[in-house]
Amino acid sequence: MQIRMNINNIKLALTNSPLFDGFAILILYYFFFGFVQNPIREFRLLQNGTKQMATVDYIDGLDSNKSNSTFLMHPYNYSFVSVDGKKIKSSQWIFLNLQDQPVTAKPKFSANITYLNSNPNVSQFTSTISTSYSDFFFRRVLLSFLFVSILYFLVKLSLIIDYKERQMEKQFIQISLN
């Protein structure tokens, strides 16, 4: 019984720690935004990127017989020629419809991309990159962290309230049994 109470006290102390909250928010931030919108990659492209026209060769996950106008997330497969003449093939998962017309599986259309001269495999559609450093900081860092922090603290608050309600229920049951 004593060991169980000590473990519960340790859990409670950990979950009330600002350090724990910070790590949890960073992990959630990476989970929500790190896979699709890698902020470090985007900052590098904003800082040292070279713009180039690319040909979108194929969009995975779409039926080639039908037109799809939905804004579902799909990987756009594209290719471009870097400044040093190498042909680079890459893909990017995005929500955007890069065309004015409905998306088809074999589109063969051009789109602007930004890539790093030092590593052409690091590339991204220009329309998905922030336009300035202030836009990057505001949208990718500040608003994203704010969203994740609010989400984290709402979940944490609901768990604390649920825990307190269960504790009160246990006390009520003990009082009613006596």
- The per-residue pLDDT for range 32-73, each reduced to its tens digit, is 776 667 788 888 889 988 898 888 876 666 555 455 555 566
3-state secondary structure of 73: coil
Query: 14 with 137: CB under 8 angstroms?
Result: no
CA angle 163, 169, 174 (to 5 degrees): 130
Taken as a whole, the chain contains a residue count of: 178
What's CA 11's distance to the chain center, in Å? 29
* pLDDT at residue number 1: 45
Output the pTM of the full model.
0.63
Residue among 59, 61, 62, 42 nearest 113 (CA): 42
